[in-house]
Amino acid sequence: MSDDLLRIRRIKDALSRLGPILPGSISTQWNVCGKPGCRCKHPKKPQKHGPYYQLSFTVDGKSSSLFVKKEDLKTLRDCAKRYQKFRALNTRLLSAYIQWHETAVFIKQRIRRMNNLSAEKKESLKRAIEQKSGLVDGDDRRWNGCS
Ligand SMILES: [Zn+2]
C-alpha cells in the first residue's frame, strides 16, 4: 500500500476510534431572576443565580444551544474537546485525499510519457516511479476508481 493510502487509512482509523462528539463550546452563566427581594437583586452585594452551563453550537448554518446539568459537564466537555480533534482529522483526511489524487495524476502523466520511450528507458522510469509513489503496481486499481 502506498504512503498516501496508508495515511488515509490511519486518519479514518483515528476517526472511528474518536468516541462521541458534540459541536460548539460550553459557557458558564449567572442569572438574575424577577423575584422581588431576592439575593440576586441585593442593592449592595447582589449574588446572581448559577452557575448554569450552556452548550452553544452551529450545525448546518443553524445556531442552537442546550442547557447542561452540572453532573454532565465533564462528559460534554470531553465531547466538545473531541469535536476539535474531529475537525482537525477531517482537514487532514481531505489533505490526504488531495495528495493521493495529485500522486495519481503524476503517475498517469509519467506512464503516458512512457509510450514514446525505448523499452529499456520505460523500465528504469517505471522503477523510479514505483520508488517515489508506491502506487504503480499494488494500488493502481484504487486510484483509478477515484478518477
Ligand atoms: Zn434571584
Q: Residue 95 — φ and ψ, nearest 5°?
A: -60, -40
pLDDT band (50, 70, 90) for residue 138:
very low
Cα–Cα distance measured from residue 143 to residue 17, given in angstroms and rounded to the nearest whole number: 26
Compute the distance from residue 11 Cα to the ligand 1 centre, in Å: 50
Segment (H or E) for 125 = helix 119-133
pLDDT band (50, 70, 90) for residue 8:
very high
Which pLDDT score, from 0 to 100, does residue 133 have? 59
108: nearest Cα among 77, 146, 74 = 146
Q: Tell me the pLDDT tens digit for each residue of 33-84.
A: 989 899 999 989 999 999 999 999 999 999 999 999 999 999 999 999 999 9
Compute the distance from residue 129 Cα to the ligand 1 centre, in Å: 73
Compute the distance from residue 33 Cα to the ligand 1 centre, in Å: 4
Indicate whether 29 pLDDT > 70. yes
105, 4 contact by CB (below 8 A): no
What's the first-to-final CA gap in the chain, in angstroms? Answer: 18
C-alpha cell at 90: 477531517
pLDDT band (50, 70, 90) for residue 129:
low
Q: For the whole model, what pTM was predicted?
A: 0.65
Work out the mean pLDDT of the chain and round it to a whole number.
84
Cα–Cα distance measured from residue 95 to residue 34, given in angstroms and rounded to the nearest whole number: 53
Which pLDDT score, from 0 to 100, does residue 76 have? 94
Q: Is it true that the peptide bond before 51 is cis, omega within 30 degrees of 0? A: yes
Amino acid occupying residue 143: W
Q: Residue 25: beta bridge partners? A: 56
Compute the distance from residue 75 Cα to the ligand 1 centre, in Å: 29
Compute the distance from residue 39 Cα to the ligand 1 centre, in Å: 6
Q: Residue 59: beta bridge partners? A: 62
pLDDT band (50, 70, 90) for residue 95:
very high
Compute the distance from residue 100 Cα to the ligand 1 centre, in Å: 60
